[in-house]
Structure 1
Amino acid sequence: MRTKGRGAPDANSPWDEIVTLLWMGGHHYQDHAGVRRPVIVGTEFDVVISLYQRDGHGPAAGVEHHYVQAPDGPLSPAQVESICQMANIVAAAVGDGRRVLARCHSGYNRSGLVVAQALINMGYSTEDAIFLIRYRRSKWALNNSLFVDYLNTGLEVARLLTGLGTGL
């Protein structure tokens, strides 16, 4: 599920390299002629993290693929934990020299949250991680201010805070 109404256009590329070996993308992009195109992942990457899934968009058989269902909106403690787990997988794979793609519907928010946390795990500051994502992917990346708040708070603290009053 994604939140509508932020006015973000489709990205101009299927995916963009944020740092060496770490790419961020979506399921659609706008080509140079302005036509909306589907993004089909084949064997370009060793590991694909999907936070949105659509039949026919790959990755190819044999590619390590992890899928987590998460909304482009407030996350439950379990969803924050899943984001942390995906970020750990991303950081470890990049550290092992593997090409990684994190993707969601538009390639801006949910994938941005995972990539930012992976960068933080790899030693980047929160500010630098957010800057790199917006600079290399799109100024529209991480336009979900709640996700930026989660990152600034720290995902582990955010997980605890989202569970307050829920009995979790």
Structure 2
Amino acid sequence: MRIKGKGTPDADAPWHEIVPGLWMGGHVYRDAAGVRMRAVVGVEFDTVLSLYRLDGHGPGAGVEHHCVEVPDGPLVPEQIEAVCGMADIAAADVRDGRRVLVRCHSGYNRSGLVVVQSLINLGYTTEDAIFLVRYRRSKWALNNPLFVDYLTSGLDVARLLTGLGALDG
């Protein structure tokens, strides 16, 4: 499940480097001629973190791969916790000098959520991290306002608040 952006174009490359060692991408992009292409990961990265899965999109053999599918919409506490876990992996691997790709379908929202939290874990402010993602990946990155709210509130707070809704049922 993903948010259908109003006229949101595909990215212009399969992935972009946000800070040294930390890349953000998707499973599709448009080449220079405007043709929609599959973004297939080979062995360009040491670690690939996928928040969306499509068969045939890699990564190649020997690449560490973590996959946690989450929707591009409201998250439950367990999904926010999984996002935090993915961000912890990404930040630790970047600190260790590994090349990390975080990806989702289009490479805008779910991957943006993890990349921003990874940057926060690496010492960036939330505002700077959001700016970097939008500047380096696309102005369309993090077009899901709920994910921006999660990040500006803090994912720990967002996890607790989303859990309160479960108590009402």
Same fold (TM over 0.5): yes
Identity of aligned pairs, percent?
72
Q: 1:165: how far off?
A: 3.1
User: In the aligned structure 2, how far is the partner of 1:75 from the partner of 1:46?
Assistant: 28
Match of 1:20 in 2: 20
Unaligned runs of 5+ in 1: none
User: In the aligned structure 2, how far is the partner of 1:32 from the partner of 1:6?
Assistant: 22
User: In the aligned structure 2, how far is the partner of 1:7 from the partner of 1:146?
Assistant: 18
State the Cα RMSD in Å: 1.0
Match of 1:65 in 2: 65
Match of 1:83 in 2: 83
Q: 1:3: how far off?
A: 1.8
- The amino acid of 1:37's aligned partner reads M
User: In the aligned structure 1, how far is the partner of 2:126 from the partner of 2:146?
Assistant: 14
- The amino acid of 2:80's aligned partner reads V
- The amino acid of 2:143's aligned partner reads N
- Match of 1:167, SS state, is helix
What is the correspondence of 1:136-147 to structure 2 with a 5 Å cutoff?
A: 136-147=136-147
- The amino acid of 1:35's aligned partner reads V
Query: What does the per-residue CA deviation read over 1:57-100, in whole Å, with 9 as the maximum and x for residues that have no partner?
Result: 00011100000110000000000000000000000000000000
Instruction: Find runs of 4+ consecutive structure 1 residues off by over 6 angstroms.
Output: none
- The amino acid of 2:63's aligned partner reads V
Match of 1:114 in 2: 114
Match of 2:128 in 1: 128
Query: What does the per-residue CA deviation read over 1:95-133, in whole Å, with 9 as the maximum and x for residues that have no partner?
Result: 000000000000000000000000000000000000000
| Counterpart contact for 2:26–2:103, Cα < 8 Å | yes
- The amino acid of 2:150's aligned partner reads Y
User: In the aligned structure 2, how far is the partner of 1:92 from the partner of 1:7?
Assistant: 35
Q: How many residue pairs align between the two structures?
A: 168
- The amino acid of 2:44's aligned partner reads E
Match of 1:92 in 2: 92
Match of 1:7 in 2: 7
| Counterpart contact for 2:5–2:143, Cα < 8 Å | no
- The amino acid of 1:126's aligned partner reads T
Match of 1:161 in 2: 161
- The amino acid of 2:17's aligned partner reads E
User: In the aligned structure 1, how far is the partner of 2:141 from the partner of 2:54?
Assistant: 21
User: In the aligned structure 2, how far is the partner of 1:69 from the partner of 1:163?
Assistant: 19
- Match of 1:4, SS state, is coil
